[in-house]
A and B are shown apart, each in its own frame.
Chain A
Amino acid sequence: MTDARPDGGEAATETDRRSVTARIESLPDPDQLFAVVGRELRTVVRTRAYAALAVGYAALVVALAGAGGASGFLPLTLDLLTYVELLVPALAIAFGYRAVLGDARRGELDVLQTYPLSKPTFVLGVYLGRVTALLVVVLVPLLLVGAVVPFVGGTQSSVLATHAGADSAFLYLRFLTLTALFSMVGLGVALAVSATADSVRAAIALGLGFLVVLVVGLDVGIVAALGAGVVGEGSLQWVLALSPNSAFRGLVLRTVVGAVSTSSVRAAVPAANLAGLAIWLVGSLALSIWAAWDD
Chain B
Amino acid sequence: MTQDSRRTQARGRTVATVEGVGHAFGDLTVFRDVSFEVREGTMTTLVGPNGSGKTTLLRIVAGLLSPTEGTVDVTRRSERAVGYLPQQPSFRSVFTVEETLRFYADLLPTDVDVAAAIDRVGLSGARDRNVDALSGGMRRLLGIAQATLGDPSLVVLDEPTGDLDPRMTEYVFEVLVDLAESGMAVLLATHNLLGAEKADDVALLDRGGIVVRAPPDEFVGDADADSLAEAFRHYVSGDADLTVRAGAGGGDDQ
Chain A's nearest CB lies how many Å from the CB of B13?
6
Which residues of chain A from 34 to 48 have a CB within 8 Å of any chain B CB?
34-35, 38-39, 42-43, 46-47
The reply to whether A107 and B88 form a contact with Cβ atoms under 8 Å apart is yes
The reply to whether B84 and A31 form a contact with Cβ atoms under 8 Å apart is no
The reply to whether B86 and A111 form a contact with Cβ atoms under 8 Å apart is yes
A66 close to chain B: CB less than 8 A:
no
A91-123 CB mask vs B (1 if < 8 Å, else 0) is 000000000001001111011111111000000
Chain B's nearest CB lies how many Å from the CB of A68?
37
The reply to whether B107 and A115 form a contact with Cβ atoms under 8 Å apart is yes
A13 close to chain B: CB less than 8 A:
yes
Query: Among B62, B75, B83, B107, which residue has its beta carbon within 8 angstroms of that of A35?
Result: B107
Indicate the member of B88, B95, B104, B153 with the most A CB atoms within 10 Å: B104
The reply to whether B74 and A110 form a contact with Cβ atoms under 8 Å apart is no
Number of chain A residues whose Cβ lies closer than 8 Å to a Cβ of chain B: 40
Chain A's nearest CB lies how many Å from the CB of B15?
9
Query: Among B13, B72, B106, which residue has its beta carbon within 8 angstroms of that of A20?
Result: B72
Q: Is the interface of A mostly helix, strand, loop or mixed?
A: mixed
- Chain B residues within 8 Å of A17, by CB: 71-73
The reply to whether A16 and B104 form a contact with Cβ atoms under 8 Å apart is no
- Chain A residues within 8 Å of B236, by CB: none
Q: Is the interface of B mostly helix, strand, loop or mixed?
A: loop
Chain B interface residue count: which class?
35 or more
Indicate the member of A4, A19, A43, A114 with the most B CB atoms within 10 Å: A114
Whole-angstrom distance between the alpha carbons of A3 and B16 in the complex?
13
Whole-angstrom distance between the alpha carbons of A14 and B99 in the complex?
31
B150 close to chain A: CB less than 8 A:
yes
A218-229 CB mask vs B (1 if < 8 Å, else 0) is 000000000000
Chain B's nearest CB lies how many Å from the CB of A86?
29
Which residues of chain B from 132 to 155 have a CB within 8 Å of any chain A CB?
146-147, 150, 152-153
The reply to whether A11 and B63 form a contact with Cβ atoms under 8 Å apart is no
Question: Known: A3-B13, A16-B73, A115-B108. Is A107-B90 also a contact (CB below 8 A)?
Answer: yes
The reply to whether A20 and B107 form a contact with Cβ atoms under 8 Å apart is no
Whole-angstrom distance between the alpha carbons of A90 and B135 in the complex?
35
B82 close to chain A: CB less than 8 A:
yes
Residues of B in contact with A (beta carbons under 8 Å apart): 12-13, 59, 61-67, 71-77, 79-92, 94-95, 99, 103-104, 106-109, 146-147, 150, 152-153
5 A–B contact pairs at CB < 8 A?
A15-B76, A31-B109, A107-B86, A114-B83, A116-B79
Further contacts, 19 of them, CB under 8 A, given A18-B71, A39-B95? A1-B75, A5-B13, A6-B12, A13-B77, A20-B74, A20-B82, A22-B81, A32-B106, A32-B107, A35-B107, A43-B95, A106-B89, A106-B90, A110-B84, A111-B89, A114-B62, A114-B63, A114-B64, A114-B152
